[in-house]
Amino acid sequence: MIIDLNKLLERHHIRKTECRKEMLAYFYKKKYAISFPELEKAMHLHDRTSVFRNLVYFEEMGFLHKLNDSEGIAKYALCEEKCFGHLHKDEHIHFTCTNCNNTFCLKEKKLPEIKLPKGFFMESFSIVAKGICLGCSSKK
Ligand SMILES: [Zn+2]
Ligand SMILES: [Zn+2]
């Protein structure tokens, strides 16, 4: 995906820093969800506190959403375009590959609607499927 990060940040009135630009570029380059340790390693030229703060900030701005992979490890992935600020609309299924351990957003696979019993109120709902991803299955 070719994307003008400067324009993207400007459009969202986000102050451009090298760290933020590099972080977003990394997310656009990788096609899977990224854990903090991986991001920290990739951004080793930057202070880890700012990397973490930017992660939280991007989540608040509707750029990234947090998810747990099939092992419960927290990862971040780029949001769907309609996400804005705290109003996340990432209602899709996630998929963890048991071969490469990467987790992918299946954005076109929407979460099914769940009818809760009376008196229950949902705050979050997620589905993580487990299996072999396209990259791994086509290598065989
Ligand atoms: Zn894989
Ligand atoms: Zn996702």
Q: Does 123 have pLDDT greater than 90?
A: no
Q: With beta carbons less than 8 A apart as the criterion, state whether 24 and 1 touch.
A: no
What was the pLDDT predicted at 140?
A: 64
Q: What is the mean pLDDT of the chain?
A: 89
Residue identified by tokens 């992660």 is 55
Which ligand is nearest to the Cα of residue 99, counting in written order?
1
What was the pLDDT predicted at 109?
A: 92
Mean per-residue pLDDT, 7-26: 89
Question: What count of Cα atoms within 13 Å lies in the side-chain half-sphere of residue 2?
Answer: 0
What was the pLDDT predicted at 81?
A: 72
| Residue 35 CA, distance from chain mean position | 9
d(CA 55, CA 49): 10
Which distant-in-sequence residues (6+ apart) come within 8 Å of 68 by Cβ?
74, 75, 126, 128
What was the pLDDT predicted at 2?
A: 61
Q: Does 128 have pLDDT greater than 70?
A: yes
CB atoms within 10 A of CB 78: 21
Which ligand is nearest to the Cα of residue 75, counting in written order?
2
What was the pLDDT predicted at 14?
A: 85
Centre of ligand 1 to C-alpha 57, Å, is 29
- Please name each of the domains of the chain with its CATH number: 5-137 (1.10.10.10)
Mean per-residue pLDDT, 79-99: 81
Mean per-residue pLDDT, 46-66: 92
pLDDT band at 85 (very low <50, low <70, confident <90, very high): low
Residues with CB under 5 A from ligand 2 (ion): 77, 90, 105
State the DSSP code for 31: S
Question: What count of Cα atoms within 13 Å lies in the side-chain half-sphere of residue 8?
Answer: 15
